[in-house]
Amino acid sequence: MTAPGPSAQDARPVGARRLALPDPAATRALGARLGALLRPGDCVALSGDLGAGKSELARAAIRARLGDPRLEVPSPTFTLVQTYEAADLEIWHVDLYRLERPEDVLELGVEEALAEAALLVEWPDRLGPDLPAARLDLRLEAGPGDGRTALIGDPAGAWADRLETLAPGADGP
């Protein structure tokens, strides 16, 4: 396995909105708004260090969209992919941390899934050049204090009409 080099994981989304997430409840609230806004073909690149809160945010998004606050949403760390059926949308929760070879991502069916599902991807840098340009970048960084800061980028404008709902009042670019 080749070590991942400098990548999207290290990069801050360009022109990102900045949203303070002082506690886990704030992360879950952002996740719930994200879940409500998801559309077929969306790819959400959830980046940030180990323990940043990516799975917590994805879990809240899935629970909100499926309307089941107690739904079990295990981290896909070992399965790599977990899929969920909302009434009008299939959601793929993907964690590529343990992806051994970049080629293996094809076997997961991620590209086909993008045609009609919405993807929430942890460790999206593992997709390399296959990371869709039309995506939402959602990076979680530590601080201030024990909290987190979300950096939200929309590199291709796919979320232009949804950003204000997703991150109301967030600092602009």
Please answer whether residues 20 and 153 qualify as being in contact, where contact means their C-beta atoms are separated by less than 8 angstroms.
no
Residue closest to ligand ATP, measured at CB: 53
If the CB atoms of residues 126 and 162 are measured against ligand ATP, the closer one turns out to be 126
Q: Footprint of Mg ion on residues 37-56 (CB under 5 A)? A: 54-55
Residue indicated by tokens 């929430």:
120
**Residue 27 touching Mg ion (CB under 5 A):** no
Closest separation in Å from C-beta 75 to ligand ATP: 6
Closest separation in Å from C-beta 157 to ligand ATP: 26
Residue 171: name the closest of 155, 156, 149 by CA.
149
Question: Among the candidate windows 9-17, 60-68, 146-154, 156-164, which touches ligand ATP by CB under 6 A?
Answer: 146-154
Query: Strand 148-153 relative to strand 136-142: parallel, antiparallel, unpaired?
Result: antiparallel
Q: Footprint of ligand ATP on residues 27-46 (CB under 6 A)? A: 27
- Tell me the residue type at 159: W
Q: 75 has which bridge partners?
A: none
Measured between alpha carbons, how far is 135 from 119 in angstroms, rounded to an integer? 10
**Residue 137 touching ligand ATP (CB under 6 A):** no
Closest separation in Å from C-beta 95 to Mg ion: 6
**Residue 122 touching ligand ATP (CB under 6 A):** yes
Q: Which of 1, 50, 115, 160 binds ligand ATP (CB under 6 A)?
A: 50
**Residue 93: φ, ψ to 5°:** -105, 115
Structure tokens at 26: 């704030």
